[in-house]
Structure 1
Amino acid sequence: MKVKTLKSKQGNLVSGPLILSPHVFEDDRGWFFESWNQIHFNEAVGEVVEFSQDNHSQSTQGILRGLHYQLSPQPQAKLVRSSFGEIFDVAVDLRRSSPTFGQWISARLSSENKFQLWIPEGFAHGFLTLSSVAEVQYKVRGFWNKTCEHVIRWNDPELDIAWPQNELNGSDISLSEKDQVSIEFHAAIKAGYLFA
């Protein structure tokens, strides 16, 4: 497995999120790779991670999910991959003590590149479906808890996330009802909906 760190739009290295690229064994019959190995994953992220649940979603082109996160007492970390199709995946640093607070990283995850994005606690997460259909699978540390859940507006001008809307072949961004009523980043700061 190869491990790559990520930089924000401002060019700063963001500590925490990692791109994990598996070793793929390929021949004329097809391919094989380990999508999960506890030992290799723990070595890559530098800690022992125990996941609580696996999630699997399907979205059509233009569906945008996010920016979601959970605060204490049930924060979540995620290991995200696209097992079918392609997504533009984003994580926003919400750790007040971080030098990259309010900055974001992105990665293209697809069934072709087989990349996985590790997003530790302290980040908001969202993705945009670029292909006609995408299936996203993610392992989660921490159970879903509605009372801990928060959503920041996907197109918040202060965050200025460069979503590749020009790749949607004329499709519009489509949001869930929950994501439509999300708050702006400055409102989350004012309300204290952040990590230490």
Structure 2
Amino acid sequence: MKIIDTKLKGCLILEPRTFQDLRGMFFEVFRKVDLENHLGYKIDFVQENKSISKKGVLRGLHFQTGQAAQAKLVTVQKGEVTDVIVDIRPNSDTFGQHIKVNLSAKTHKSIFIPKGMAHGFLALSEEVVFSYLCDNYYEPKMESGILYNDTDLAIEWDYPIADFIVSEKDMLLPSFKALTT
């Protein structure tokens, strides 16, 4: 597995080595020891979530606060997405910056998202099956987020906004400034 650093410290792209033959394909999504060695700290995933979305669904930008903060390993098992991660760690050199990564079942890439990041994705294919491994349990009272079209973040989703399918809950998320001032 190849581990690639991004401009957001601790946010990593994992590219597996794939092995194909007439039976099909095999690859490791991640190796705990390799991930921990690269990060320099232990990671223990305790919960796995899956979402199924149709084309145009935008989920996010979500995060858990306080003691419920979560590191995640996200993977697309079917389809393709534009995945966005925003650094919301106040003392980070990249505070308020984001990265955008294309994830698909064809490339088998995953992203490790450390605590202190907001995360969201836009489904680009007719159906997306998205998997999240989390190192902390979901706590509804500690749930938060940032509006996906926040003008200060200026995320280019590269998709017609009129075709987005966004939950009412996500439409009501606060701006980045409202959360950080």
What is the match of residue 175 of structure 1?
166
Q: Deviations over 1:46-85 (max 9, x none)?
A: 3210112001110000000000011112101110000100
Aligned counterparts, 1:13-24, within 5 A: 13-24=7-18
What is the match of residue 92 of structure 1?
86
Aligned counterparts, 1:37-186, within 5 A: 37-166=31-160, 172-186=163-177
Aligned positions, number:
181
Aligned to 1:48, what secondary structure does the other structure show?
coil
Q: How much does 1:162 deviate?
A: 1.0
Structure 1 gaps, min length 5? 7-12, 191-196
Structure 2 gaps, min length 5? none
Q: Deviations over 1:133-188 (max 9, x none)?
A: 1100010011111111111100001000110205x9xx710111210111111111
Taking the aligned partners of 2:31 and 2:3, their CA distance within structure 1 comes to 14
Aligned to 1:147, what secondary structure does the other structure show?
helix
**RMSD between aligned alpha carbons?**
1.4
Structure 1 residue ranges (4+ consecutive) displaced by more than 3 angstroms after TM superposition: none
Taking the aligned partners of 1:73 and 1:44, their CA distance within structure 2 comes to 24
Taking the aligned partners of 2:26 and 2:38, their CA distance within structure 1 comes to 20
Which amino acid letter does the alignment assign opposite residue 172 of structure 1?
A: D
Which amino acid letter does the alignment assign opposite residue 153 of structure 2?
A: L
Taking the aligned partners of 1:147 and 1:73, their CA distance within structure 2 comes to 11
Taking the aligned partners of 1:36 and 1:3, their CA distance within structure 2 comes to 9
Decide which moves more: 44-53 or 124-133.
44-53
